[in-house]
Amino acid sequence: MALREIVLYGNPALRIKARTVDEIDDDLRQLVQDMVETMDAAEGIGLAAPQVAESLALCVVNNGLIDEDAEPQAYINPEIIHADGEIEVEEGCLSIPDVREDVRRPETIKVRYLDIDGKQQEEECGGMLARVLQHEIDHLNGVLFVDRISSIKRQLLQKRLKLIATGG
Ligand code: NI
């Protein structure tokens, strides 16, 4: 296992649409393990492959923070196939340190994905898991949560974002 470097706002890797995973092999399983370890070390609740500069449609979620008996879980090629309701919740991102903003998103979703064994799964969820998965799936499309706040709020963050992008 190894920690991976988390790339920050301004890194082009965060803006690329991730490639579909077409084979779950040892390299991919290793990447998942590394991502879980990296997420835990950073005390994150979710991490998407583009955040460790891997253009693959894959994210991991620290389900243990949501339900203490649950293990971290990989979602491979995840897609939202149904969404309901709307709710505003504060979000942050390991790639955008020290920035937290309210973001409006659907409240409950249904996600289709492959698990680490390559089995297709469908999961309906709400609450924290729905929020994290939507945030991570955005990453796979090159979208960041600060893209989803009002332009006025984003304007107020410009200085901070620029500092992150320039390594400040
Ligand atoms: Ni994020």
DSSP string across 31-43? HHHHHHHHHHHTT
Per-residue pLDDT for 167 more than 90? Answer: no
Domain region containing 53: 12-166
The pTM assigned to this predicted structure is 0.96
Task: Tell how far the Cα of 113 is from the centroid of ligand 1, in angstroms.
Answer: 19
Quote the pLDDT of residue 148: 97
- Does a structural domain hold residue 23? yes
Strands (E) in 25-114, as ranges, are 46-48, 58-61, 73-84, 87-93, 96-105, 108-114
Task: Tell how far the Cα of 98 is from the centroid of ligand 1, in angstroms.
Answer: 12
- Does a structural domain hold residue 34? yes
Per-residue pLDDT for 86 more than 70? Answer: yes
CATH number, domain at 30?
3.90.45.10
86 is catalytic: no
Determine how many CB atoms are found less than 10 A away from the CB of residue 72.
Answer: 20
* Listed residues: CB within 5 A of ion ligand 1: 93
Task: Tell how far the Cα of 92 is from the centroid of ligand 1, in angstroms.
Answer: 7
- Does a structural domain hold residue 35? yes
- Does a structural domain hold residue 4? no
Task: Tell how far the Cα of 148 is from the centroid of ligand 1, in angstroms.
Answer: 12
Structural domain total, the chain: 1
Q: Categorize the per-residue pLDDT at 27 as very low, low, confident or very high, splitting at 50, 70 and 90.
A: very high
- Does a structural domain hold residue 7? no
- Does a structural domain hold residue 160? yes
Task: Tell how far the Cα of 121 is from the centroid of ligand 1, in angstroms.
Answer: 23
- Does a structural domain hold residue 138? yes
